[in-house]
Structure formats: C-alpha cells, structure tokens
Amino acid sequence: AAGVIQSPRHLIKEKRETATLKCYPIPRHDTVYWYQQGPGQDPQFLISFYEKMQSDKGSIPDRFSAQQFSDYHSELNMSSLELGDSALYFCASSFSLGTRAYEQYFGPGTRLTVT
Amino acid sequence: GENVEQHPSTLSVQEGDSAVIKCTYSDSASNYFPWYKQELGKRPQLIIDIRSNVGEKKDQRIAVTLNKTAKHFSLHITETQPEDSAVYFCAARGETSYDKVIFGPGTSLSVIP
C-alpha cells in the first residue's frame, strides 16, 4: 500500500539559510500534519491542513510557514535557520469523513541538520 | 490546552513477561487514543487505537484499556519479545479528523532476552 512520502530524507543547512520540506500524503487523504521531533523527545505538533486550509497551529515558529496545494501535497518552509531547528521533521496524513477522526499515518521523516 | 502524561519513562522487562504503560490526559473532549511504537531514527507506527465508546480493545499480544471518567488509558503487552523494544508513545486527539494528536513524552521499553 502507498505510504506518506517525504523529501528530502536528509538535509544539511547552515545557520540563517532556508529549507523546504515536502510531504506527499497517502492517496485520498485530505489532511496533513507536520511534527518536529528533537533527540529523545516526543513529536511536537507544528501545523495541520485540511482540504488545503490551515486547520490547526501548534508550536510553529514565525520563521516557518507551510501550505497545502491542490494535489494535497504540503510544503514546510523554514527560514533563518537556527542550530535548534536541527531535528526530525515528520509529516502525517489522514482521511476525514464528516466528523469522524481517522488514523494518522506518518512519513519516514526528514532529518534536518543545521550547522 | 491538551496535556498527556505517560509513565513510566523507562521500562525493562524479561522476555516473556508483560509490560504495562499508563497515560492520563487533560482534555475531556478527547475521544480518540492511538498508541505509536517508534524505533530509533524511524517513524512512529500506529500499533493500536481506542475510541471513547469502547473500554477495551485487543489485538493479539497488545491490548489497550480506557477509563474515560478517570481520563486514564493503558497499553498492555503480553509475552514480550526482544523486537518489542522501542519507544512507545500514547496520544490523545479530539473528534474531528483534523484535530492534532498530542503525544505523551514516551516510554522506552527494553525487553531483555
């Protein structure tokens, strides 16, 4: 079965540079979530999109922005990178039907290293 | 906002023994409780979930119980195997599918052969 695809899988950037992470949800999934996971930490919710509209916002820095496109893929744009932004970034997707909450499936993650 | 607590933070068991991880949540509106298993450097993988209209759910060696009145839910793994060693996260979520999942801090489970 198709899974969530994330690219790139690894990314090395210098401080103050910009990075763009991409997420391709499971086909027919209409909701995308972004999480940041530091070493030894639980995944922290950043932002989510439902039907191309921002649906919720968590601890996402103002330096970060994201959007969901017409084909449901999503991009997380990170500017003025800081050393503390080094982490695993996961995208997850789910399907909605009315108000029923369905399972979130995670992508393999993008490991971002800021030097 | 929603807060999920999880205990213990680390757990070591002998192969074949049972492991129990307990979580509590703060938002009474939460009604979906997934459990994720994460191996080092890998993605969180959904292993079992429970909804608020069910008190218990079982899938082979894994079971989850939910006490909505007390806002407690637990993961039980029986006949543990070395491949069960991983970090386990409990989580809580609201009704609508676009509600964010709030994770607990995780339990590092080690199964000793």
Residues B70, B2: Cα–Cα separation, whole Å = 15
pLDDT tens per residue, range A23-58: 999 998 989 999 999 999 999 999 999 888 998 889
Dihedrals phi, psi of A84, to nearest 5 degrees: -70, -10
Write down the pLDDT at residue B43.
Answer: 95
Taking an 8 Å Cβ-Cβ cutoff, which residues of chain B contact chain A? 31-32, 34, 36, 41-46, 49, 89, 93-106
- Asked if A53 has any chain B CB less than 8 Å from its own CB, the reply is no
- Asked if A97 has any chain B CB less than 8 Å from its own CB, the reply is yes
Which two three-digit tokens encode residue B81? 């195997």
Query: For chain A, what's the residue count?
Result: 115
pLDDT tens per residue, range B9-34: 999 999 999 999 999 999 888 888 99
Write down the pLDDT at residue A100.
Answer: 64
Write down the pLDDT at residue B99.
Answer: 74
Tell me the percentage of chain A whose pLDDT exceeds 70: 96
Residue A5 pairs in a beta bridge with A24
Name which of B93, B96, B100 is nearest A58 (Cβ-Cβ).
Answer: B100
Q: Which residue type does B46 have?
A: L
For residue A9, give the nearest of A91, A70, A64 by alpha carbon.
A91
CB pairs < 8 Å spanning A and B: 66
The 3-class SS string of B48-69 reads EEEECCCCEEEECCEEEEEECC
Contact A56 B49 (CB under 8 A): no
Dihedrals phi, psi of A111, to nearest 5 degrees: -90, 115
Contact A108 B45 (CB under 8 A): no
pLDDT tens per residue, range B66-100: 999 999 999 999 999 999 999 999 999 876 656 78
Tell me the percentage of chain A whose pLDDT exceeds 90: 77
Token pair 């195997």: residue: B81
- Which residue of chain A comes nearest to B108, CA vs CA? A40
Name which of B43, B95, B105 is nearest A106 (Cβ-Cβ).
Answer: B43
- Asked if A107 has any chain B CB less than 8 Å from its own CB, the reply is yes
Q: Are B43 and B99 in contact, with CB atoms under 8 Å apart?
A: no
Write down the pLDDT at residue B22.
Answer: 98
pLDDT at A63 over 70: yes
Residues A83, A90: Cα–Cα separation, whole Å = 18
Write down the pLDDT at residue A96.
Answer: 76
Write down the pLDDT at residue B4.
Answer: 95
Q: Which residues from chain B sit within 8 angstroms of residue A111, using beta carbons?
A: 41
pLDDT tens per residue, range B31-75: 889 999 999 989 999 999 998 778 999 999 999 999 999 999 999
Write down the pLDDT at residue A95.
Answer: 84
